[in-house]
A and B are shown apart, each in its own frame.
Chain A
Amino acid sequence: MIYADNAATTRMSEAAVNTMVAVCRENWGNPSSLYALGQRSKEILEKARDDVAKAIGADPREIIFTSGGSEADNTAILSAAKQGAKSGKKHIVSTAFEHHAVLHTLERLKKEEGFDITLLDVHEDGLVRTEELEQALRDDTCLVTVMYANNEIGTIQPIKEIGAICRARRIPFHTDAVQAIAHVPINVEEDNIDMLSASAHKFHGPKGVGFLYVKKGISIRNLIDGGAQERGRRAGTENVAGIAAMAAALTESLKNQEKTAEIVTRRRDRLIRGLQEIPHSALNGDAVKRLPGNVNFCFEGIEGESLLLLLDDKGIQASSGSACTSGSLDPSHVLLAIGRVHDVAHGSLRLTIDEDTSDEDVETIIRAVKEVVEYLRSFSPIWRDLMAGRKQFIL
């Protein structure tokens, strides 16, 4: 089996599994309890907070543990919106290809609270232009939220520059760093980030746990009412085992981050070169400013779901932005945002490799994708029309 869908989720690391099991077995007390069993859990929780904070250059008091990236995104955006509305500021700037945890939250603010939302163009290369961001800012802008790296095409945004622009205008800046954290170096101070969302299962931690970094001084409105956990910003007994496992996974990832990124980037580039040999195909997103493990292609004349099923038969797990894989009628909003037309967006393939993907695996993937694309084209009526000149190639 070759697992090439690490943007969907990752295998838990041994360190994360061991930590999680150990906490469940030995330190299952409630961190809010005052006796020793509870206080040991509290210590584990606070140690994890220290580790997570250190990983991104934050203060431990700036870390709020959540159930994952979506909750972190919702909390950050809704908090900034509430704060903004107090002073009549109801304009938010974001991008057209954010994760739905961001886009749907913004849509709700627009529909239910009358917010005005500006979604920046991400151009053909999948990158935000800082000058366009600057132009979009208004006196009533209460939040800028731009993802660190895109989940489908992996393009890395000019976060530091965006942060600097927002700082100068005193506008809070949130970034959904779910795909980027642990894979590229992030420092909230250097990158001028006010709020940052992360999810453990994207860096070999467990599912159902993540965190939100909130710079000191920014007020947060809790989504869940209840106890005083997380300094009153997130009620509910803490997922101690999950949080400790997340910290273990993050610490481990960061220890090897530079080396891992170098190896994975080299394999990614080999994968890109190999797939570019397929005629009438195109890489989606900038070739350089992208996550180390992300490869995303469109192949003309075929549909993504059948491509995935046949790759699965060959032992390769991947993903696609075709409508059929999303259960909706439209293909991926990310591919449409970078200007891919429906016809070719349906024929997309996302391969997200990690340090466990060997050179040999990369060659196997290239061979398999070539075979499957050729096979599907052999009985595709679109491909026949393209080859016969009855239809113009798009790619």
Chain B
Amino acid sequence: MALYSEKVMEHFRNPRNVGVIEDADGIGEVGNAKCGDIMKMYLKIDDEMITDVKFETFGCGSAIASSSMATELIKGKPVSEAMMLTNKAVAEALDGLPDYKMHCSVLAEEAIKSALDDYYSRHGSDRAEDESSKKIGRPVDAAGRS
């Protein structure tokens, strides 16, 4: 039996959305070098839609594949939907990860959320002035509940 699923290997060999967005609206970095995994996510957000996403990852095969899959799952989606991304969804989309590699999918989820948090904290104050009635810095889910 192979170490990883075909899907993991495919995303590892041809990772989607690799790189940097210079004028990103939100940047998130999680993990640390000591543990051997760092993921950095860059988001371009336009009108609450994720119009572009890029990643950089230092890590093993499943960390790179998880980053790649996570970016695919949120690209072109509303922020509200991205906020609900789970590590389980990432792992399932990759046709599963070995048990001891599940933390890679957790890291991918956390990286996306960290980038979204950054987006909210950066853009929060602007919107607070424009739409003072709207709660800032808290994600809303797909149904619009805060």
Contacts and interface: CB of A to CB of B under 8 A. Distances in A.
B59 interface: yes
B58 A381 contact: yes
Nearest to A308: B61
Contact of B35 (A313, A329, A380, A382): A329
A182 interface: no
Contact of B36 (A301, A310, A324): A324
A303 to B, nearest CB: 5
B143 interface: no
A264 interface: no
Interface stretch (B11-19, B45-53, B129-137): B11-19
Interface string A302-334: 111110011001000000001111010101000
A352 B36 CA distance: 24
Interface in A342-395: 342-343, 346, 379-384
Contacts of A343: 33-34
Contacts of B35: 323, 329, 342
Contacts of B58: 301-303, 380-383
Contact of B61 (A301, A309, A381, A382): A309
Interface string B77-110: 0000000000000000000000011000000000
Contacts, number: 66
Contact of B60 (A313, A322, A381): A322
Nearest to A325: B60
Query: Dominant SS at the B interface?
Result: mixed
B36 A323 contact: yes
Interface residues of A, number: 25
Contact of B29 (A310, A342, A381): A381
Nearest to B9: A309
A343 B33 CA distance: 5
Interface in A9-34: none
B36 A306 contact: no
B56 A381 contact: yes
A327 B29 contact: no
A309 B61 CA distance: 7
A342 B36 CA distance: 8
A304 B33 CA distance: 12
B83 to A, nearest CB: 22
Contact of B57 (A304, A305, A379): A379
Nearest to B20: A384
A324 B40 CA distance: 19
Contact of B33 (A310, A324, A346): A346
Query: Dominant SS at the A interface?
Result: helix
Contacts of A305: 60-61
B37 to A, nearest CB: 7
Contacts of B60: 303-306, 322, 324-325
A306 B38 contact: no
B70 to A, nearest CB: 14
B116 interface: no
Contacts of B39: 381
Nearest to B98: A327
B79 to A, nearest CB: 23
B112 interface: no
A304 B34 CA distance: 13
Contacts of B13: 310, 313
Contacts of B101: 324
B64 interface: yes
Nearest to B99: A327
B61 A342 contact: no
A384 B56 contact: yes
A329 B32 CA distance: 12
B61 A306 contact: yes
B19 A382 contact: no
Contacts of B57: 379-381
A379 B18 contact: yes
Interface in A49-101: none
Interface of B: 9, 12-13, 15, 18-20, 29, 33-40, 55-61, 63-64, 100-101
Closest 6 CB pairs of A and B: A324-B60, A305-B60, A346-B36, A343-B33, A381-B40, A342-B34
Interface of A: 301-306, 309-310, 313, 322-325, 327, 329, 331, 342-343, 346, 379-384
20 contacts: A301-B58, A303-B59, A306-B61, A322-B36, A322-B60, A323-B35, A323-B36, A324-B59, A327-B100, A329-B35, A342-B34, A342-B36, A346-B33, A379-B19, A379-B56, A379-B57, A381-B29, A381-B38, A382-B33, A384-B20
Given A306-B59, A342-B34, 8 more contacts: A301-B58, A303-B60, A306-B61, A309-B12, A322-B60, A324-B59, A329-B35, A380-B38
